[in-house]
């Protein structure tokens, strides 16, 4: 069984945040949300809206499409090319 999408997205955001050496509070301040909300996203309890994903991605120096692509890889367990062939 694959992980839930929320859990995967949260793990990706946490990894990106930690690689940028940011605290949850710094990310929350930028996104104008409570630190607890960032924690809930990272722990898979909440799913960020697309607007929130855009904002978080900007501060994490990435693109929302890259977060989604990484999540897709983890969900499907396939490479991008294999996934495209199955469409």
Written as six digits, the tokens of 82 are 């294999």
CA angle (75, 76, 80) in 5-degree steps:
115
Binning pLDDT at 50, 70 and 90, where does residue 81 land?
very low
Domains annotated for the chain, with CATH where assigned, are 5-85 (1.10.260.40)
Tell me how far apart the alpha carbons of residues 33 and 40 are, in angstroms, rounded to a whole number. 11
Tell me how far apart the alpha carbons of residues 17 and 56 are, in angstroms, rounded to a whole number. 9
pLDDT digits (tens, 9 = 90+) for 28-74: 999 999 999 999 999 999 999 999 999 999 999 999 999 999 999 98
Tell me how far apart the alpha carbons of residues 13 and 39 are, in angstroms, rounded to a whole number. 10
| Residues 46, 36 contacting (CB under 8 angstroms) | no
What average pLDDT score do residues 18-25 get? Answer: 97
């Amino acid at each position: 069984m694959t992980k839930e999408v929320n859990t995967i997205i949260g793990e990706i955001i946490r990894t990106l945040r930690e690689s940028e050496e940011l605290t949850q509070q710094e990310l929350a301040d930028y996104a104008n949300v409570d630190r607890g909300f960032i924690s809930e996203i990272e722990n898979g309890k909440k799913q960020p809206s697309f607007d929130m994903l855009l904002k978080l991605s900007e501060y994490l120096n990435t693109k929302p499409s890259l977060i989604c692509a990484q999540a897709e890889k983890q969900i499907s367990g396939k490479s991008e090319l294999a996934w495209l062939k199955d469409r």
